[in-house]
Amino acid sequence: MDKVSQVRAAKFAIGQIVKHRIYPFRGVIFDVDPTFNNSEEWWESIPEEVRPKKDQPFYHLFAENAQTTYEAYVSEQNLLLDDSGIPVSHPAVKDFFTGIEDGHYIFSPRLQS
């Protein structure tokens, strides 16, 4: 079986609001990688006991915690759906999405190809 056919479908979609399963942050998904696509240095910086497998979808988030906003790169196994209904306050959200509907951000038509 080739590598492409082994890639599983992503559980979450662009525009969904998610929260981290372990750490206290949440965010909106703005991109999805079918498998790990970051540097080995980043990978090695994750403590081995919580390091996720590479062969799963990874999500780019406009994230926030109680102190700040930032971009996060998170494995699917570490995400849960955030059904709080609270919008994400990251300033880049307005550049990628036109609004929020039923707890899901609407991707800006000008960014779709």
pLDDT tens per residue, range 77-107: 999 999 998 999 999 999 999 999 988 999 8
| Cα angle value 61/67/68 (rounded, 5°) | 40
User: From its phi and psi, is residue 103 left (phi > 0), alpha (psi between -120 and 50) or beta?
Assistant: left
For position 65, what pLDDT does the model report? 97
pLDDT tens per residue, range 54-78: 999 999 999 999 999 999 999 999 9
Reference 56, options 26, 78, 29; nearest CA is 78
What average pLDDT is seen over the chain? 90
In the chain, the domains with their CATH numbers are: 3-111 (2.30.30.390)
Residue ranges of alpha helices (H) inside the chain are: 3-6, 40-44, 93-96
